[in-house]
């Protein structure tokens, strides 16, 4: 199977710099730096627990001038391959979002292994010898305290330690207490998002939860009451969409951020038994973006979705929501 190499180039205005990270979907394209510092895992959401590991990679790189940092990950998510019934599996980040988040963490290289049932049969020893040593030339390996790999998750920290001298690499484990003290887990973040506790989710993530999708045609009712919305269709069916309600958001379009407010729900004022939609009203914005890919950062949860007796009442509430959104966005900035 053939994969290509490409670059992630991101601009973050609040850092005033451009970040580069090379991405490989075919491991034999990896250039093998003279000193590779690597960690591996799914890193769904790249939350603060993950960031603890990534910070250690950056720290080690500063100590070794020739070193380059590498994250080895998998796609699709292993749960989607190994679970016969994957309905209800909701991920905090798509592959594209995960790549962006890792680039923002200053990782030099992202290697993506296509995960399959066949790959899942790879023994831990083969994984170490063929992938870590022969392909990626690992000199330093940093893992979380609960990291497992290889067939039936047979490999772990002690297994890696046993091969250090044979293959000439060092392994370092981030202690359990360093991760547990942060009280962070992907499950806890998912529950917070599904329970409309956005503040907790963002605190655990260390950044505003984000969602990417393409703008599609809607019923354009918002336009008739002065609040036109862009209907967003999420690319990945397994991407977690937060609880129904109204949110203050910022929207990234063509590398520029705009303020806005967003509604997730079934639009009870418009009708009954309607499909769930994601609609964002972008402030001070009047451009045709149908078909465009946009990113939404969730800044604050404002209120639950509600039914109003008329569009006029809804219009009055939207005016209030916009003011509340501007307050929340100003406080966040």
The DSSP result for 170-186, as a single string, is EEEEE-HHHHHTTT--H
For residue 47, CA distances in Å to 235, 272, 312 come to 21, 37, 41
Q: What are residue 201's phi and psi, to 5 degrees?
A: -60, -45
End-to-end CA distance of the chain: 45
Residue at token pair 């070193």: 67
pLDDT recorded at residue 4? 43
Give the CA dihedral 201, 205, 206, 208, nearest 10 degrees.
-60
Superfamily of domain 5-180: HUPs (3.40.50.620)
What contacts 310, CB < 8 A, 6 or more positions away? 269
Q: What is the pTM of this model?
A: 0.90
Domain ranges within the chain, ordered by starting residue: 5-180, 209-332
pLDDT recorded at residue 14? 32
Strand residue runs (E) in the chain: 5-12, 17-24, 35-40, 67-75, 109-114, 138-144, 170-174, 210-216, 230-234, 245-253, 256-265, 277-282, 293-303
Q: What is the CA radius of gyration of the chain?
A: 22
pLDDT recorded at residue 182? 55
Give counts: helices (H), strands (E), the chain.
11, 13
User: Which stretches of the chain drop beneath a pLDDT of 50?
Assistant: 1-6, 9-18
Q: Distance between CA 75 and CA 98 in Å, rounded?
A: 11
Q: What is the CATH number of domain 209-332?
A: 2.40.30.30
């Amino acid at each position: 199977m053939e994969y290509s190499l490409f670059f992630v180039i991101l601009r973050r205005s609040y850092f005033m710099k451009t970040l580069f990270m090379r991405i490989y979907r075919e491991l034999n394209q990896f250039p093998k730096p003279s000193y590779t510092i690597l960690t591996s895992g799914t890193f769904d959401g790249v939350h603060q627990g993950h960031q603890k590991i990534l910070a250690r990679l950056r720290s080690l790189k500063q100590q070794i001038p020739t070193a380059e940092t590498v994250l080895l990950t998998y796609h699709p998510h292993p749960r989607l391959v190994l679970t016969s019934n994957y309905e209800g599996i909701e991920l905090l980040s798509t592959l594209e979002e995960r790549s962006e988040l890792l680039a923002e963490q200053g990782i030099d290289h992202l290697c993506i292994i296509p995960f399959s049932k066949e790959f899942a049969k790879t023994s831990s020893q083969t994984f170490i010898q063929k992938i870590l040593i022969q392909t990626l030339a690992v000199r330093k390996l940093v893992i979380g305290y609960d990291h497992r790999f290889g067939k039936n998750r047979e490999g772990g920290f002690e297994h890696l330690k046993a091969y250090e001298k044979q293959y000439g690499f060092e392994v370092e484990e981030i202690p359990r207490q360093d991760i547990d003290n942060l009280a962070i887990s992907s499950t806890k973040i998912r529950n917070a998002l599904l329970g409309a506790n956005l503040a907790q989710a963002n605190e655990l993530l260390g950044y505003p939860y984000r969602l990417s999708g393409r703008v599609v045609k809607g019923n354009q009712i918002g336009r008739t009451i002065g609040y036109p919305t862009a209907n967003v269709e999420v690319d990945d069916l397994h991407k977690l969409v937060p609880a129904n309600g109204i949110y203050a958001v910022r929207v990234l379009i063509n590398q520029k951020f705009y303020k806005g407010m967003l509604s997730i729900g079934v639009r009870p004022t418009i009708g009954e038994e309607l499909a769930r939609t994601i609609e964002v009203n972008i402030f001070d914005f009047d451009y045709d973006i149908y078909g465009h890919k946009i990113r939404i950062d969730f800044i604050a949860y404002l209120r639950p979705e509600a039914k109003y007796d008329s569009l006029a009442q809804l219009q009055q509430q939207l005016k209030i929501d916009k003011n509340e959104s501007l307050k929340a966005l100003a406080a966040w900035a």
